[in-house]
Each structure stands twice: as structure tokens, then as C-alpha cells.
């Protein structure tokens, strides 16, 4: 990889990731609707709205690999999710195919499988159970990636990101916390591993309480260094400040599940 494009480069994960990838690849191309602050040597910016195919094609031209973080990063109205995360995701993969991009790492989300109960450990072969319109868009992105991988030979990695940050902020995030440096490991596997064709990884660190079987990522050499249990006291202190949420506390997706929920009042039947 000589030139790597990061979409959504002005967002929280994009800003952190570009700093951690500095010097790993000769050139980072950054794309977003707003220009990131403090462009560094070896970085260049191409403004692009993901819903505009012409702008996306311009952004992907001449790159070897893409880390696709762009889109709407939380739950939102359908029209917002549709344009940013569904049309935008299709445009990204289609433009990458047209321009001969070899690899795409797609930032999927734990919310693609948020309606699994916390008592159940799941692998990457379980059917999706999105907990929101946002989760639907991430399940869609994984499907689009599969299409371009198996139809057109693109190498695609989907990372179901848990909670990215310096520490887990509550009890739920003890199970899904992702240390920034561990995300870098997963991204680099997706961009560089010679044997990878199409895979789904869970974006979680070495969490004792994890709900996920991440064997697929381990098979490609993933060795997470973050341990959420080391910050147990801080996470439980954060949990104590949260209101009771019987539905959200049952499912892996937390408040994304309880928002707008009018399903079975006995979630243990799921």
C-alpha cells in the first residue's frame, strides 16, 4: 500500500486513526465534507459528499486501499441514514471498483448485531440482528462488501467496531471496548494481509467480558493489547450515573435497542 484513503477523516475515529497511521503508509489521502485541521506532511485532502458519485470517484482515483469510516455515525432519521450510509456506501464501493482499488476496510458496527442478548456469545457467522436504522446501514455495508469481493475480486474487511476510545465508560462498554491501537492492528490486517479475501472481524480489545468470538481476527494475527478489566472501577462509576434501562441492559446494543422499542416486553424470549 502506497496511498491509503481514509473517508470520514474529520470524525473522531478518523482524526485519531490518521495520527496513528502516520508513517505507516507513504501517503494518506483524507476525505470528508469538511477539511480536517492541521494536515500533516504526507496527507492530502479531497472534499467529497458520499452521496455524490462524481465526488467519490475523484476521491478514490489513484489510491491502493481505502479505510471507509465516512457516513452518519449514530442513529438518525431514515433519509439521513439512506443518503450517508446506504447510498454513500454503495457509491464508495462502486467507485473503488471502477478505479481499480485493491482493498477496502469497512467500518461496520456492533449495532449490526445489537439485538443478540448479552448472555449469548456470537461469532461472525450469526445472522445480522440490527438494532437501529444505523445498524441496518452497517449490515447493508457488509453485504455490499461481500458483493464486490466475490463478484469483482476486491479484498474486503468489515470491522464491527465496538466502543472506540481510551477507556470503557460504563458496564456495557467493558464488553465491547476497542483501544485505538488495536483498531490500527485490524485496519492493517485488512490493508496488508496477503491471504485475506473477505472477512468480518469484531472490533474489540482483550475484554474478559466480551460477547464476541473473534477467532477470525485472531487467525489473521490480531493480538489486542487493551484490557477493559484494568479500568473496571472507572466503568462501574460511569454505569452508576446512568438511568435504568431494562430493555437496553438485556441486549448487546444497549440504548440503541431500547430507543423506540415496542416489541416483546419479555426480552428474554429473544
The pLDDT assigned to 165 comes to 97
* pLDDT at residue 269 tops 80: no
Tens of pLDDT, residues 163-193: 999 999 999 999 999 999 999 999 999 999 9
The answer to whether the CB of 162 falls within 8 A of the CB of 110 is: yes
* 148 among known catalytic residues: no
Taking residues 23-27, what's their average pLDDT?
94
The pLDDT assigned to 188 comes to 98
All structural domains of the chain with their residue ranges = 3-269
What is the torsional sign of CA 82, 189, 62, 59? positive
The pLDDT assigned to 72 comes to 94
Task: Give the helix/strand (H/E) hosting 222.
Answer: none
Taking residues 13-39, what's their average pLDDT?
93
Domain 3-269 classification at class level? alpha beta
The pLDDT assigned to 38 comes to 84
Give the DSSP letter string of 16-42. Answer: HHHHHTBTTBSEEEEEESSPPSSPPTT
Between the CA atoms of 24, 66, 143 and 165, what dihedral angle is there, to the nearest 10 degrees? Answer: 50
Tens of pLDDT, residues 229-253: 999 999 999 999 999 999 999 999 9
- Calculate the average pLDDT of the chain: 96
The pLDDT assigned to 211 comes to 98
Taking residues 76-101, what's their average pLDDT?
98
Residue of 116, 134, 148, 202 with catalytic role: 134
Tens of pLDDT, residues 128-158: 999 999 999 999 999 999 999 999 999 999 9
- Assign 266 a pLDDT band (cuts: 50, 70, 90): confident
Amino acid at each position: 500500500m502506497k496511498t491509503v484513503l481514509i473517508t470520514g477523516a474529520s470524525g473522531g475515529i478518523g482524526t485519531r486513526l490518521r495520527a496513528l497511521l502516520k508513517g505507516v503508509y507513504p501517503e494518506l489521502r483524507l476525505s470528508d465534507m469538511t477539511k480536517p485541521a492541521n494536515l500533516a506532511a504526507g496527507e492530502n485532502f479531497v472534499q467529497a459528499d458520499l452521496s455524490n458519485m462524481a465526488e467519490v470517484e475523484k476521491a478514490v482515483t489513484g489510491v491502493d486501499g481505502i479505510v471507509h469510516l465516512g457516513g452518519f455515525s449514530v442513529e438518525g432519521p431514515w433519509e439521513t441514514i439512506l443518503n450517508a450510509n446506504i447510498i454513500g456506501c454503495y457509491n464508495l464501493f462502486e467507485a473503488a471498483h471502477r478505479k481499480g482499488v485493491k482493498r477496502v476496510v469497512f467500518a461496520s458496527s456492533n449495532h449490526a448485531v445489537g439485538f443478540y442478548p448479552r448472555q449469548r456469545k456470537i461469532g461472525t457467522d450469526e445472522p445480522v440482528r440490527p438494532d437501529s436504522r444505523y445498524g441496518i446501514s452497517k449490515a447493508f455495508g457488509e453485504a455490499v462488501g461481500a458483493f464486490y469481493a466475490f463478484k469483482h475480486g476486491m479484498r474486503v474487511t468489515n470491522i464491527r467496531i465496538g466502543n472506540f476510545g481510551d477507556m470503557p465508560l460504563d458496564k456495557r462498554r467493558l464488553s465491547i471496548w476497542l483501544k485505538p491501537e488495536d483498531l490500527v492492528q485490524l485496519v492493517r490486517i485488512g490493508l496488508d494481509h496477503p491471504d485475506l479475501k473477505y472477512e468480518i472481524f469484531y472490533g474489540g480489545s482483550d475484554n474478559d467480558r466480551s460477547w464476541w468470538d473473534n477467532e477470525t481476527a485472531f487467525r489473521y494475527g490480531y493480538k489486542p493489547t487493551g484490557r477493559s478489566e484494568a479500568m473496571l472501577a472507572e466503568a462501574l462509576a460511569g454505569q452508576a450515573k446512568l438511568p435504568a434501562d431494562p430493555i437496553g441492559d438485556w441486549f448487546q446494543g444497549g440504548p440503541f435497542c431500547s430507543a423506540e422499542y415496542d416489541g416483546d416486553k419479555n426480552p428474554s424470549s429473544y
